[in-house]
Amino acid sequence: MEPSVTALIHAAILEDVGAGDVTSAYFIPESSRSRAEIVAREAGVVSGADIAVAVFKEIDPALEVEVCIPDGGVFERGSILMKASGSTRSLLTAERTALNFLQRLCGVATLTRTYVDAVKPHPVQVWDTRKTTPGWRLIEKAAVKHGGGTNHRMGLYDHAMVKDNHLAANGDLAALQAAIHRLRRERPGVRVQLEAATLGQVRDFLALDGVDMLLLDNMTPEQHREAVELVSGRLWLEASGGITLETIRDVAATGVNAISVGALTHSARALDLALDLY
């Protein structure tokens, strides 16, 4: 597990447990042992199973934890996602933190699967964005993959995306070309993408060397089709901006290579999961 994810788990436990679970300490006998199941109250796609296990084990390494449906697996209402057994106090102390991670990440995976299903049968990728919960980017982007989506750039460091504000500050074509050449020399493994808000910008950007892809920002399906014809396979095209479940199939039919949807991470709701104790 990535160190940043381990640190996030530790922070979440500290936030909830603090100096100790006073309810369990005073109201549950120390000798009490129980079994627990995490049960789905609605259908969805699993993500975060390994993180939930890590929470239980961090609270009490002696707990026995079994993943019944792994990350990426589909479940129905009533499905058992995970089982755990051991100290009742430990199970109850871990319950909320484990569920917080699991419910949120299952929500992202489930919403992603809904979007991925909506573009079928068109061969287009559904991409996430950087619109993630601060500190949760790695695990939310993992949830997107579990739902069948594709990760776009992880951060500002691994993919150059020249957006509208960059262009407003330094959008001269000669300056853009010089910057691209410099980036190619100094960071040859970094992809270069330019954001185009108009078909005129698409034409201008096609004249530049070293561009890998274009982002078509807030264009109509008709404009997407025209951009696809203009580019004619020379660059990857990403459609972005205000695309919803109601409109994504029309965009997918235009021939773009990818559709990015910020809602996958910034608007996914937590799924209804519960821990039942026996």
pLDDT digits (tens, 9 = 90+) for 178-199: 999 999 999 999 999 999 999 9
Domains (range + CATH), the chain: 3-113+269-277 (3.90.1170.20), 116-266 (3.20.20.70)
| Catalytic pick among 83, 130, 131, 225 | 131
| Catalytic pick among 16, 217, 226, 272 | 217
Stretch (H or E) spanning 193: strand 191-196
| Catalytic pick among 120, 163, 203, 234 | 163
Q: What is the end-to-end Cα distance of the chain in Å, rounded?
A: 30
pLDDT digits (tens, 9 = 90+) for 206-217: 999 999 999 999
Residue 195 annotated in active site: yes
| Catalytic pick among 57, 96, 225, 249 | 96
pTM, 2 dp: 0.95
Tokens 């199941």 correspond to 37
pLDDT of residue 87: 98
State the amino acid at position 122 in one-letter form.
H
Residue 64 annotated in active site: no
3-state secondary structure of 11: helix
- DSSP secondary structure letters along 74-110: EE-TT-EEEEEEEEHHHHHHHHHHHHHHHHHHHHHHH
Residue 30 annotated in active site: no
pLDDT digits (tens, 9 = 90+) for 134-161: 999 999 999 999 999 999 999 999 999 9
Residue 58 annotated in active site: no
* ω into 221 cis (within 30 of 0): no
Residue 141 annotated in active site: no
Q: Closest Cα partner for 60 from 107, 24, 27, 110?
A: 24
Residues with Cβ within 8 Å of 35's Cβ and at least 6 positions away in sequence, in order, are 83, 84, 85, 277, 278
Give the whole-angstrom CA distance, residue 190 versus residue 158: 6
pLDDT of residue 85: 98
Query: Which residues, listed in sequence order, are joined to residue 150 by a DSSP beta bridge?
Result: 127
3-state secondary structure of 37: strand
